[in-house]
Amino acid sequence: MAEITAAAVKDLREKTGAGMMDCKAALVENAGDIEAAVDWLRKKGLSKAAKKSGRIAAEGAVGLKVAGKRAAVVEVNSETDFVARNQQFQELVRVIAGVAEQVGEDVAAILAAAAPAGGTISDAIASAIATIGENITLRRAGVLSVDEGAVASYIHNMVADGLGKIGVVVALQSSGKSDELLTLGRQIAMHIAAANPLAVDPAGIDADTVARERAILAEKATAQGKPANVIDKIVESGLKSYYKEVCLLDQPFVVDPSKSVGQALKECEGRVGAPVKLTAFRRYALGEGIEKQSNDFAAEVAAAAGTR
């Protein structure tokens, strides 16, 4: 049996885009002959992944994995919404979420991590691409944990257990009753799904975002002819209103809009039996920020027919 080197496997993968394990198997089957291995992969349909990797993937699913006081949320994209109902794809998202919960939120580390069925997560994605026939990508991952307390979650527009269009995880640090914390945490997660805050509080908002908002407020006040000595006060007042709109703790709580999320947390401490601090959250909405390709089917047919 010919020796299969790591360099040969890497070379074959670069040529075909197939998974590492598939490339090694192809070389073993063909006694190390690269060209024969390429043909073997093509016959198996495993070399298609590279050709599909450039296509826009803005559909798919957001997946959650909660394990005690730690949780992960991932976004795995496909080209069409139909794939989100594919059981193989759904299981792939669950596997990726489970691995993310273990290794953390760095995408490169997740892709390089071992998959339960063998090979790496990157190999599992390449195999799914070849089988399903669409480009599939792991776009992002978020992982939260607490030393004591609870990490609550919520999936919106659920397509299967733990999978949906919007996924939220919330970390509540507290030594109080875990069942009360989970109930409140789920309510806050639902609020986050609906209200889409930028940060927990003003300190968490990107400095460039605050500077841009400050400049807009100052420009508006100047255009309205406000005197220079009051513009700063107008800007500061405007920023306070802005923070109420985009900071989680300042937003009106969707469960009871008469109070803010921060007030609801404070009131909950009596039921929990200890102070409660909301330390972080992650909210992933499927496809947000991805420019989706718009296809004019009639134009494509006309172009193919040579009429345009």
CA–CA dist 139, 295 (Å, integer): 23
CB atoms within 10 A of CB 308: 10
The terminus-to-terminus CA distance of the chain in angstroms comes to 57
User: Considering only 82-86, 122-126, 288-292, which range has the smallest mean pLDDT?
Assistant: 288-292
**Whole-number mean pLDDT of the chain?**
87
pLDDT reported for residue 3: 82
CA–CA dist 206, 198 (Å, integer): 9
pLDDT reported for residue 292: 61
- Is the pLDDT confidence value at 195 over 90? yes
pLDDT reported for residue 273: 94
pLDDT reported for residue 307: 45
pLDDT reported for residue 296: 47
Rounded to 10 deg, the angle between the 121-132 and 20-29 helix axes is 70
Measured in whole angstroms, the distance separating CA 152 from the mean position of its chain's CA atoms is 17
DSSP category for residue 114: B
CA–CA dist 306, 308 (Å, integer): 6
Domains of the chain by start residue, with CATH: 6-47 (1.10.8.10), 59-195+277-285 (3.30.479.20), 206-245 (1.10.286)
Which residue shows structure tokens 């669409």?
134
- Is the pLDDT confidence value at 55 over 70? no
| Region 278-290 average pLDDT | 91
CA–CA dist 270, 63 (Å, integer): 33
Q: What are phi and psi of 137, to 5 degrees?
A: -135, 145
- Is the pLDDT confidence value at 126 over 80? yes
Which letter, b or e, does each residue of 9-44 get, where b requires 16 or more Cβ atoms within 10 Å of its Cβ?
Answer: beebbebbbbbbbbbbbbbeebebeeeebbebbeee
When pLDDT is cut at 50, 70 and 90, the band that residue 300 belongs to is very low
| Region 204-215 average pLDDT | 91
CB atoms within 10 A of CB 118: 10
CA–CA dist 53, 293 (Å, integer): 15
- Higher pLDDT residue, 37 or 152? 152
| The pair of three-digit structure tokens given for residue 3, joined into one six-digit string | 């020796």
| Region 161-167 average pLDDT | 94
Task: Name which of 161, 139, 160 is nearest 58 in CA terms.
Answer: 139
Q: Is the pTM of this model over 0.85?
A: no
| Region 176-204 average pLDDT | 95
Q: What percent of the chain has pLDDT over 70?
A: 87
- Higher pLDDT residue, 34 or 140? 140
The dihedral over CA atoms of 46, 120, 65, 175, expressed in degrees to the nearest 10, equals -170
When pLDDT is cut at 50, 70 and 90, the band that residue 308 belongs to is very low
Task: Name which of 50, 59, 62 is nearest 79 in CA terms.
Answer: 59
Do the Cβ atoms of 285 and 157 come closer than 8 Å? no
pLDDT reported for residue 101: 97
Residues 6+ apart with CB under 8 A from 304: none
User: Considering only 92-96, 191-195, 220-224, 278-282, which range has the smallest mean pLDDT?
Assistant: 220-224
| Region 228-244 average pLDDT | 89
Q: What percent of the chain has pLDDT over 90?
A: 58
DSSP 259-271: EEHHHHHHHHHHH
- Is the pLDDT confidence value at 304 over 50? no
- Is the pLDDT confidence value at 303 over 70? no
pLDDT reported for residue 297: 43
Helix (H) or strand (E) holding 12: helix 6-16
